[in-house]
Copies of this chain bind each other. A is one copy, B any other.
Amino acid sequence: MNPVTLKQIAETLDISIATVSKALKDYPDVSKKTKLLVKETAELLNYKPNAFAVNLRTKESKTIGLIIPEVVHHFFSSVIKGIIARAEKKGYLVIILQSSESYEMEKKQLDLLLSKRVDGILMSLANGTANFKHLDDLISQEVPLVMFDKIAKIVNCSKVIINDRMAAYTATKYLIDSGCKRIAHFRGPLLPQNSIDRFLGYKKALSDNNIPYDPSLVYICECGERSFEEGKENAHKLLEDHNDVDGIFINTDLVAIGAITEFHRIGVKIPEDISIVGFSNWFMSSVISPTLTTIDQPGYEMGKEAFKLLYKEIKRRKENLPIKFKTVELETKLIKRASTRN
């Protein structure tokens, strides 16, 4: 289906295109009745041009949209909490949509949020998203947008991120400092920037410490629904492939917990035989045994910061002030626990 044009609206209502355009832009020389009629028709026909962004800006809904890959995920859950906490303070309600890591779903949900007239959008990309036209379109319509965590560097909007590369470097360096010499990496999927960055941080720490990089020590996880099972499977494969590994840096805690479970089952001692560092600091990691050394990712702070940036942008656009996009980088922290040697 082709996008609806001003002409179609004009024909539907039997008025001129100029009147339609003026009505959508709230020109004073168009009657209130005509404006209402044009706007309702535009909505019925699902007309979505720049003009709608104007509408978004002038007629506040006090509602923002949030698109995340997975609701059922420790890290994103914390982000949601942070967003809601701050949004409530400012009188905003948050509509949460889950892309289930699908690009198609992500696009549908952006359209839905626009049709529901949210004042702005917060989002973290699906793993399946490799094309950013839907986001560029949004930005050209001047819809306030802030990306967080899983972002696209080339999309021109405000962002809240962590330094995944540096955090992964710290994690791997800690394994090296504790005496590990053959360190494996369970990495995330190939596309998302954060899993690439964590892998690169791991690699850099090895090379800075004169440990040769061995690609056969890197195992890929999808890190979706099967994270825990992937951790068990990779741990099993790793022992079959290599009998000299003494440390693993793992892309996400749930995978690490799978690995610990498998090692426990087959009698590999942690950290005596193999040390493990995870990533994200899931709550669970503090109650399993041994407790998991990991990188704390400030999800709650990230949510608060993302809302703060979005709120500023909504306000500035409303007042027709110039917008400067900003990237906020939040600090991560190594949490030392019992899965590594001191």
Tell me the chain A residues, 252-290 only, with Cβ under 8 Å from chain B. 257, 261, 283-284, 287-289
Q: List 15 A-B contacts (CB under 8 A).
A: A33-B37, A36-B37, A36-B40, A36-B44, A37-B37, A72-B77, A93-B109, A94-B97, A95-B95, A96-B98, A228-B287, A261-B287, A287-B288, A288-B288, A289-B289
Contact A95 B93, beta carbon cutoff 8 Å: no
Rounded to whole angstroms, the CA-CA distance of A112 and B62 in the bound complex is 10
Q: Which of B41, B63, B80, B257 contacts A287 (CB 8 A)?
A: B257
Q: Per-residue CB proximity of A22-37 to B under 8 Å, as 1/0?
A: 0000000000010011
Task: Give the number of copies in the complex.
Answer: 2
Rounded to whole angstroms, the CA-CA distance of A79 and B288 in the bound complex is 25
Quote the shortest CB–CB distance from A24 to chain B (angstroms). Answer: 14
Q: Which residue of B lies closest to A63 (CB)?
A: B112
Rounded to whole angstroms, the CA-CA distance of A112 and B84 in the bound complex is 15
Contact B63 A71, beta carbon cutoff 8 Å: no
Quote the shortest CB–CB distance from A246 to chain B (angstroms). Answer: 23
Does A78 have its Cβ within 8 Å of any Cβ on chain B? Answer: yes
Q: How many residues of A are counted as interface, with CB atoms below 8 angstroms from the partner's CB atoms?
A: 37
Q: Per-residue CB proximity of A92-119 to B under 8 Å, as 1/0?
A: 0111111010000100110010001000
Residues of B within 8 A of A39 (CB): 40
Q: Which of B36, B71, B84 contacts A80 (CB 8 A)?
A: B71
Residues of B within 8 A of A100 (CB): 84, 88
Residues of B within 8 A of A97 (CB): 93-96
- The interface of chain A, by Cβ under 8 A from chain B, is 13, 33, 36-37, 39-41, 44, 63, 71-72, 77-78, 80-81, 84, 88, 93-98, 100, 105, 108-109, 112, 116, 228, 257, 261, 283-284, 287-289
Contact B71 A96, beta carbon cutoff 8 Å: yes
Contact A98 B84, beta carbon cutoff 8 Å: yes
Rounded to whole angstroms, the CA-CA distance of A94 and B88 in the bound complex is 21
Rounded to whole angstroms, the CA-CA distance of A94 and B98 in the bound complex is 8
Residues of B within 8 A of A80 (CB): 71-72, 98
Residues of B within 8 A of A108 (CB): 93
Given pairs A40-B40, A88-B105, A94-B98, 17 additional interface contacts (CB within 8 A): A36-B44, A39-B40, A71-B71, A71-B77, A72-B77, A77-B77, A80-B98, A84-B100, A88-B100, A93-B97, A93-B109, A94-B97, A228-B287, A257-B287, A261-B287, A288-B288, A289-B289
Q: Which of B41, B63, B98, B228 contacts A283 (CB 8 A)?
A: B228
